[in-house]
């Protein structure tokens, strides 16, 4: 390749015009200098930009990242505190669950892993403890009973009597006693209604208006001295243990355990009544007027209203052969199909639950139905001294009741079932509840559960 042929003379000749135009020389020189300066400036600017990106922008980004990391670290500390708080809540809930089944025992020498009692004496002591416990519960709510028939008859024997002239004689309706008539009325002027020998005043000896006034006053006086009508015989298990006899050790252990469970449930019913009637002076101003039943079978009042009620889905409830509490394991042994879907856990695991259904019936102020159910399902205090009674007494709370089914019926005070009771001037109703009671299994609770009971529950599950 040939080198370009540059003729310097020609170039100088072409630039010789600047000699005659010196005014153009200066701008041209400035333009040349500027051009020469622009090229390195561009180069330097690019290098400067790269340096800024490397040292400033990237450093700034790293600072931002560090700031974010610092915030994340602070947030992590906050989250760690929250996680610790949640863990404490879980531990507290576990402790509360455990404490719900840490309850006083009627006998501390009966249950436990080392107990292998063969003597009937210990079981008979449990029977006495159960009956004594029911007495204490009745007394704790200021309960009493209406005047009894012997009391009324004794009072009427000493009362002045004015014969009422009825259709057939001085006692009304059927002639006098000398002619073989009805001695207690039953005719048109019988103050407690007709029916002859089957009249409602028959067994009481009520003959005259004065007799009726005497009985009324006796009933009012009794109502003024108690807070609620209740009797041990209305409580499940009282009559059972009165007639209980020792058959064999295994059955005795089963009976004692299930009725210990039943006692805890009944205790909550009485606690509820006591809380509802707190501050009341007598039956007439108390919200809860009368306990008509606390049982583990279908209530008698339900049968009187048309036989055994039907469970959800139309299934007939099955009355249990034994009046005592049992664990609900399926729909075949329920008082009602539970809307909660809870049954006793099918395997012998901890944690798990044991479920018992029970029936409670009360007569109460018609405006107190919902407050009673709310109180029944609320937390209740209890004391605990260890399952062997050897620890300092502690006070805990438990909340294990759920209402499954309700039935409400009006009460007519003048009917036979209520003629000797005085409920006050406000309308009253009978509230009939089927409830479930849940016992959470804990290692300590399972430790005192008799082997016979565990075998009954899990013998087909192993």
pLDDT one-digit tens code per residue, 67-100: 666 556 567 677 777 776 665 555 666 677 888 8
Mean pLDDT of the chain: 78
User: b/e per residue, 191-212, with b = 16+ CB within 10 A?
Assistant: bbeebbeebbbbebbbbbebbb
With respect to residue 396, please indicate whether it lies within any of the assigned structural domains: yes
**CA 365 to chain CA mean position, Å:** 22
Predicted local distance difference test score (pLDDT) of residue 202: 52
Q: Is pLDDT above 70 for 224?
A: yes
Which residues are CB-contacts of 219 (< 8 A; sequence separation ≥ 6)?
146, 147, 420, 421, 422
Counted domains in the chain: 1
In 16-103, alpha helices (H):
17-20, 22-52, 58-100
DSSP-based three-state secondary structure for 455: helix
Judge whether 147 and 214 are in contact, CB under 8 Å. no
In this structure, the number of other CB atoms found within 10 A of the CB of residue 339 comes to 12
Tokens 């008082």 locate to 335
Better pLDDT: 229 or 209: 229
Q: What is the pLDDT of residue 330?
A: 92
**pLDDT tens-digit readout, 133-187:** 999 999 999 999 999 989 988 888 887 655 443 333 333 332 333 323 333 333 3
Tokens of residue 334, six digits:
């329920």
- What's the CA gap between 15 and 9, in Å, rounded? 10
Look at residue 5 and tell me if it is in a domain. Answer: no
Question: Is 32 inside a domain boundary?
Answer: no
Which backbone phi and psi does 200 adopt, to 5 degrees? -70, -20
Q: Which of 459, 462, 458 is nearest to 345 (CA)?
A: 458
Is residue 439 exposed (0-12), middle (13-18) or buried (19+ Cβ within 10 Å)? Answer: buried
DSSP letter, residue 114:
T
What is the mean predicted confidence (pLDDT) over 356-372? 98
| Integer Cα distance of 367 and 408 in angstroms | 12
Question: Mean pLDDT over residues 413-427, rounded?
Answer: 92
Question: Does some domain include residue 158?
Answer: no
pLDDT value of position 455:
87
DSSP 173-190: SS--GGGT--TT--STT-
Q: Is residue 4 a part of any domain in this protein?
A: no
In a domain, 115, yes or no: no
Helices 249-276 & 451-458 angle (0-180, nearest 10): 90
pLDDT number for residue 30:
73
pLDDT score, position 181 = 33
pLDDT value at 315 more than 80: no
Domain housing 286 = 132-141+249-458
**Residue percentage of the chain with pLDDT more than 90:** 46
Q: Smallest Cα–Cα separation from 354: which of 250, 236, 442, 249? A: 442
pLDDT at residue 171, as a whole number = 30
Alpha carbon 218 to its chain's center? 39
Which has the minimum average pLDDT: 14-23, 133-142, 347-356?
14-23
Average of pLDDT values for 26-43? 65
Which positions ≥6 away from 175 have C-beta within 8 Å? Answer: 168, 169, 181, 182
- Straight-line distance from the first to the last Cα atom of the chain, in angstroms, rounded to the nearest whole number: 104
For residues 186-195, average pLDDT: 35
CA 84 to chain CA mean position, Å:
29
Q: What percent of the chain has pLDDT over 70?
A: 65
Residue 75 lies in a domain: no
Whether 398 is in a domain gets the answer yes
Helices 369-376 and 249-276 cross at an angle (nearest 10°) of 130
Q: Which is higher by pLDDT, 408 or 210?
A: 408
User: What number of CA atoms fall less than 13 Å from residue 212's CA on the CB side?
Assistant: 16
Name the 3-class secondary structure at 359: strand
User: What is the structure's pLDDT at 95?
Assistant: 74
* Alpha helix stretches (DSSP H) within 141-208: 149-157
Higher local confidence (pLDDT), 307 or 117? 117
CA distance readout (Å), 227 to 67, 132, 269, 286, 361: 71, 20, 15, 6, 17
């Amino acid at each position: 390749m040939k080198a370009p042929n540059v003729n310097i003379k020609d170039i100088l000749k072409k630039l010789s015009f600047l000699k005659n135009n010196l005014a153009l020389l200066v701008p041209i020189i400035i333009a040349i200098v500027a051009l020469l300066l622009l090229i390195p400036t561009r180069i330097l600017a690019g290098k400067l930009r790269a340096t800024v990106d490397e040292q400033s922008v990237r450093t700034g980004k790293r600072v931002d990242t560090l700031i974010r990391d610092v915030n994340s670290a602070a947030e992590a500390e906050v989250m760690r505190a929250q996680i610790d708080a949640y863990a404490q809540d879980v531990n507290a809930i576990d402790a509360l669950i455990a404490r719900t089944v840490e309850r006083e025992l009627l006998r501390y020498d009966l249950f436990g892993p080392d107990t292998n009692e063969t003597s009937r004496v210990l079981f008979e002591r449990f029977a006495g403890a159960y009956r004594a416990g029911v007495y204490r519960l009745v007394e704790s709510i200021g309960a009493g009973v209406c005047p009894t028939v012997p009391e009324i008859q004794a009072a009427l024997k000493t009362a002045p009597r004015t014969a009422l002239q009825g259709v057939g004689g001085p006692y009304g309706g059927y002639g006098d006693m000398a002619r073989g008539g009805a001695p207690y009325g039953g005719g048109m002027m019988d103050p407690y209604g007709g029916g002859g020998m089957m009249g409602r005043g028959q067994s009481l000896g009520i003959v005259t208006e004065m007799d009726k006034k005497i009985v009324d006053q006796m009933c009012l006086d009794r109502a003024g001295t108690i807070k609620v009508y209740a009797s041990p015989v209305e409580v499940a298990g009282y009559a059972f243990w009165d007639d209980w006899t020792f058959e064999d050790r295994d059955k005795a252990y089963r009976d004692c355990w299930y009725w210990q469970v039943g006692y805890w449930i009944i205790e909550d019913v009485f606690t509820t009544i006591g809380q509802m009637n707190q501050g009341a002076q007598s039956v007439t101003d108390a919200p809860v007027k009368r306990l008509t039943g606390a049982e583990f079978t279908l209530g008698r009042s339900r049968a009187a209203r048309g036989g055994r009620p039907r469970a959800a889905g139309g299934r007939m409830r099955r009355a249990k052969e034994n009046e005592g509490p049992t664990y609900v394991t399926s729909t075949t042994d329920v008082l009602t199909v539970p809307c909660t879907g809870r049954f006793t856990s099918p395997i012998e695991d901890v944690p798990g639950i044991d479920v018992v259904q029970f029936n409670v019936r009360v007569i109460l102020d018609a405006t107190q139905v919902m407050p009673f159910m709310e109180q029944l399902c609320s937390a209740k205090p209890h004391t605990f001294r260890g399952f062997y009674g050897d620890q300092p007494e502690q006070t805990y709370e438990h909340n294990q009741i759920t209402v499954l089914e309700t039935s409400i019926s009006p009460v007519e005070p003048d009917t036979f079932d209520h003629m000797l009771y005085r409920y006050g001037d406000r309308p009253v109703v009978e509230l009939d509840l089927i409830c479930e009671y849940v016992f959470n299994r804990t290692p300590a609770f399972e430790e005192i559960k008799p082997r016979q009971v565990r075998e009954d529950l899990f013998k087909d599950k192993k």
